[in-house]
């Protein structure tokens, strides 16, 4: 469209540009459009990140027990979570997928991005415990592709 506008202006002699200069103007316009598009994508990503952090803050504020230490025990029946305020057991069937990161195992309720999750941090676990936890996860859940 930009090319058609520039060509129309040049052919209508509104601008006195040689044909080569019109091509340069079109090229610069396309570069400018790409830069503006990139900035728009960056701003959209920043807005999504800010929304995510805001929602996490609201979740933690609405559930004060999330900020307290929680002890997790992993068994063949599921994950038992215990804190000063909560004592709950989550069956393996509720979180059939997991992701392993450098610092944690994240159990997911579905493959989707907004899946509810349970985070099992690796800190404090010995290497033998990590191996046992990996084996338990391999038995009961599968790694998310």
Q: Residue 90: which H helix or E strand, with range?
A: strand 87-91
Listed in sequence order, the residues at least 6 apart from 78 whose beta carbon sits closer than 8 Å to its beta carbon are: 89, 90, 91, 92, 94
Residue 102 confidence (pLDDT): 92
Which is higher by pLDDT, 90 or 7? 90
Q: Which tens digit of pLDDT belongs to each residue from 50-76?
A: 998 888 888 878 777 777 788 888 899
Residue 80 confidence (pLDDT): 93
What is the spatial distance between Cα 94 and Cα 118, in angstroms, rounded to a whole number?
10
Q: Is a pLDDT exceeding 60 seen at residue 14?
A: no
Provide the whole-model pTM. Answer: 0.56
What is the spatial distance between Cα 76 and Cα 98, in angstroms, rounded to a whole number?
16
Residue 41 confidence (pLDDT): 92
Residue 13 confidence (pLDDT): 57
Question: Around 27, how many Cα atoms within 13 Å sit in the side-chain half-sphere?
Answer: 6
Residue 12 confidence (pLDDT): 54
Average pLDDT, the chain: 82
Domains, the chain, ranges and CATH? 2-62 (no CATH), 66-143 (2.30.29)
Q: How confident is the model at residue 105 (pLDDT cuts 50, 70, 90)?
A: very high
């Amino acid at each position: 469209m930009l090319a058609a506008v520039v060509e129309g202006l040049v052919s209508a002699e509104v601008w006195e540009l040689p044909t080569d200069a019109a091509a340069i103007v079109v090229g610069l316009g396309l570069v400018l459009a790409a830069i503006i598009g990139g900035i728009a994508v960056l701003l959209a990503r920043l807005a999504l990140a800010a929304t995510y952090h805001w929602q996490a803050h609201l979740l933690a504020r609405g559930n004060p027990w999330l900020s307290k230490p929680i002890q997790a025990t992993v068994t063949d029946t599921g994950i038992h979570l215990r804190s000063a305020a909560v004592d709950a057991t989550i069956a393996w069937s509720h979180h059939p997928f997991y992701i392993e990161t450098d610092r944690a195992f994240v159990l997911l309720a579905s493959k989707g991005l907004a899946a509810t999750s349970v985070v099992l941090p690796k800190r404090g676990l010995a290497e033998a415990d990590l191996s046992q936890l990996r084996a338990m996860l391999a038995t009961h859940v599968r790694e998310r592709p």
